Structure 1
């Protein structure tokens, strides 16, 4: 089927944004409220943040300001994300972005004035306790990198401009790219971004899959220069900000925000590239053997081990699976899952102009909203469980913490989501002794959960690190350079086990994570923590589950290292990562063994 336009999508497949605002008048009322609150904060506290009492009183109002603005901005952004072809939705989202920048610029004096005080004043405010402590501790950490007040004000005012590279990327990808249909296996097939990534990459028909990859790549290539220009702007902006704020490198700047060390960052990339590659090459060869392929190409890597065993699932089926699978996390967690379905937290629809992939937005004071496109396979169940992991995480921490203490480091933020995928897989493994079923579940873990986080995103991270090295050295990047880096990264990992057909080198064009700092590597970091914590749950049961739920409630009150320790995982060493890689290798061994037996 051709993708529907947004207006033709059945309402029951879409999310219900009236949970945020029922009418336009309601959101306009909040815009007026937050504008008035900006006036109040500015008039009452500007130039007066020199005592602990004034600092705390100002931050009390600032928390309220952030919550109102978060709601309004979420509403506009979520509405725009499902239809980039709707110019009115895009205009509304951009207008909200400008408003946020204007109001944020006016209140930039808060951070500037607080960090201008002696540490003793800030520490006295922290000693008072309460919901502002985390914010003040983070200000102390950033204090050496704070710029002059007028500079900070200008930077805040320019924040929509700083988002331009990502906006250009999205517009090129989601609004401008129009994929023609293609002919394969004697019939015509429609093609689109999400159709390719969610359907054709997994299609067991070799001619259809490879022709879809060729046509998809041809269309990408037409947009490689504008996409490269957008990315060049992004990385040069980050390099400039790193220099302005006094960091030695762009890596130091981006990792400082995550509260992790360069060693922790490099470890994920280096160890996985070296230690996991042999296992994944063996897995690729297994796929080739099972499907009787003449050669193993980059277009064949997403093939399931047993396509004939993958059942078609309904959305209601996914609900039953997830409710039962995640029941180990408690009745309150299962109730959240029920609410997500009954209250339409999830946008399941496939339509033109909709964002690809999946995400979960969790505005403070409200429930989460999950975007992804339903295609009816078990991979969708795992994806939805993943996004519900984010929802459960932020439901817990938003309820337990101040709004200032919910900005969880990206190094850790993918742990709760990938944990849910593992819990689902372990649940499924317990439901049957059938060998074919067991192989199917294991191959879902390897081919989806671990492949997505330990291969797809990890290789993106390895590529991204080389880009930033170039930029740190004063260089620049263009389409040809980016394709060369990506091609070399893929070749190093897959070796001679996989043929990199033309178009593989354009993989750098396909992910939005490059516009979010050093994000790609954090998927493997989060899954490393989740794998170790899930093993504890399997061994110890309720006590380990309660430790995990305590971690979810903690929000950003701990560093990634501290949060992992709360879950019983020590990420100060390479032990959890090496054990995770060993576990992946063990699953691949078992898949190969079962395949031989069957």
Structure 2
């Protein structure tokens, strides 16, 4: 793919997603927003001050579901247009206008939960008995009861949501619209640099001079913005702490774990065990990379090097489609058909253009098909990234077919399990397809380590360890500045990598690269999800199709069960440390196999 970033208007339409899957015209979008406002007014007039009986509660919630569905569609339409082009002022204005409308609607409908939560438990329990559709929503209200605020306070918080949720927007605007990385020079040759180019190209560059020069230039630019981004992040965590205190939580961590339906010990265990037990295996992998590439020392700037950079196949989008379709065909024809539709109906945005969000994500608006954003780089590694995002798509494609909007979304703790499961299935497929090719087998296994497990068990886990320290400071009444954040990040990196990797100057600014810190306790859930996926894949390899049939039932369950219950449906007990320790041992065994294959290939 070209290193020159096009403007969005100049991108080949076939590489872009088609938002007409949500609304065919701007007029249809506007009409939906208007209808949502009208339904909100009707809901207020009919039910405000009257949610005192089980019958009224259920009638109100039935209408609230319709509002939620329309609001989700309109919000997704506004957001997705901006995600692919932060420089388009028309799209930005639409999104800002929608947020104001949505905030007003959310403020006006906040009476629903506030009034229900004020009722006696007997009334709520009778409402639960009276409606299967609303039962889980009402059970969650009962769970929240002791943390509820006065209805007027809840209304005020809802009204303030555009202000309270603005911090991630400011971060993204600074990162994607304001930061101009320009070019960097190596031996009189200039190379273009951007957030996307650094993360998709230069981090993997095998020429050490170019790779390290890109690293220095990239982090030099980040450093210029460190105080601004730190101030935004301080505002984010301070907001979270204030709300936690208002709701009666002693710790912001407990407050953020509450909606995930996860015990504190599961969160702490995930971070502590990986920091302690995984580090020796990953350091061994770093040493292997150092030896393969003939580096005098292994630095943080070298960690994304490939085991075999000259081997990775170039892959077209059409070839990727074939690989993914075949690799995930084990899920059955219905899943395979979803993948075909994702490509043929333009659910996926492949293009790289100025102002587009970095990385990859999947949006899953209820009432429409999923949408996947990726910055396609014509490399086989992107097949794993795309399979990952299609794992999210498949999850909610099935959940939306079997659950209403209240019940469709599981805990954040579980979200990354279906996506990472797809990566493991793709690895199974590629290993079987190339069983006699040692070099290809090594590439697949090293991709599992350097991408799948590194991304989820190292990158995001180190984010989680850093994030935990930030919240501890906030819980103790402190605040964080750029020097504090840099110190925390450097200490986390040095603890994990030990003497195996030199932490370059600038690496401490890595906290500036991820938007996850504006999403609550998200980073640790990547390793939690992949732990579940690893154990389900292990079961599939041992027991066959029954494991995948059980897994599809888990996906269909959506948000009707807790993470512990969902994992149990798949045959995994996450209340103990065994699945995590087994997964760490499995990672170690893959690294040992890569070392063995490397030695055989070098003979």
Provide TM-score, normalisation by structure 1.
Answer: 0.99
Paired residues of 1:235 and 1:471 also in contact (CA < 8 A): yes
Q: Does 1:492 align with 2:495?
A: yes
Aligned to 1:226: 228
Per the alignment, in what secondary structure is the counterpart of residue 390 of structure 1? Answer: helix
Paired residues of 1:146 and 1:245 also in contact (CA < 8 A): yes
Paired residues of 1:218 and 1:503 also in contact (CA < 8 A): yes
Per the alignment, in what secondary structure is the counterpart of residue 108 of structure 1? Answer: helix
Deviations 1:464-499 (A, max 9, x none): 000000000000000000000000000000011111
Paired residues of 2:362 and 2:393 also in contact (CA < 8 A): yes
**How far apart are the structure 2 equivalents of 1:163 and 1:153?**
15
Aligned to 2:380: 378
Deviations 1:325-352 (A, max 9, x none): 0000111001100000000000101011
Paired residues of 1:135 and 1:405 also in contact (CA < 8 A): yes
Per the alignment, in what secondary structure is the counterpart of residue 598 of structure 2? Answer: helix
Per the alignment, in what secondary structure is the counterpart of residue 111 of structure 1? Answer: helix
Paired residues of 1:185 and 1:207 also in contact (CA < 8 A): no
**1:244-263 equivalences in 2 (<5 Å):** 244-263=246-265
Paired residues of 1:272 and 1:454 also in contact (CA < 8 A): yes
Aligned to 2:180: 178
**1:243-282 equivalences in 2 (<5 Å):** 243-282=245-284
Paired residues of 1:185 and 1:208 also in contact (CA < 8 A): no
Aligned to 1:328: 330
1:356: how far off? 0.8
How many pairs does the alignment contain?
598
Aligned to 1:521: 524
Aligned to 2:417: 415
**How far apart are the structure 2 equivalents of 1:469 and 1:243?**
14
Aligned to 1:82: 84
Q: Does 1:541 align with 2:544?
A: yes
Of stretches 375-384 and 486-495 in structure 1, the one that deviates more from structure 2 is 375-384
**How far apart are the structure 2 equivalents of 1:98 and 1:217?**
35
**How far apart are the structure 1 equivalents of 2:255 and 2:133?**
27
**How far apart are the structure 1 equivalents of 2:146 and 2:322?**
51
Aligned to 1:291: 293
Aligned to 2:598: 595
1:33 equivalent among 32, 35, 58? 35
**How far apart are the structure 1 equivalents of 2:66 and 2:540?**
38
1:104: how far off? 0.8
Aligned to 1:70: 72
1:186: how far off? 4.8
1:407: how far off? 2.4
Deviations 1:155-214 (A, max 9, x none): 000011011211110110011000111112552110000100011101111111110000
Provide TM-score, normalisation by structure 2.
Answer: 0.99
2:426 equivalent among 409, 424, 427? 424
Paired residues of 1:132 and 1:402 also in contact (CA < 8 A): no
Aligned to 1:121: 123
Aligned to 1:444: 447
**How far apart are the structure 1 equivalents of 2:343 and 2:260?**
32
Aligned to 2:568: 565
Per the alignment, in what secondary structure is the counterpart of residue 413 of structure 2? Answer: helix
Please report the RMSD computed on the Cα atoms of aligned residues, expressed in angstroms.
0.7
Q: Does 1:578 align with 2:570?
A: no
1:246: how far off? 0.4
Deviations 1:53-105 (A, max 9, x none): 00000000000000001000100000011111112211111111111110110
**1:11-410 equivalences in 2 (<5 Å):** 11-184=13-186, 186-410=188-412
**How far apart are the structure 2 equivalents of 1:462 and 1:182?**
32
1:248: how far off? 1.1
Deviations 1:414-441 (A, max 9, x none): 0000000000001111012211111111
1:130: how far off? 2.0
Paired residues of 1:35 and 1:103 also in contact (CA < 8 A): yes
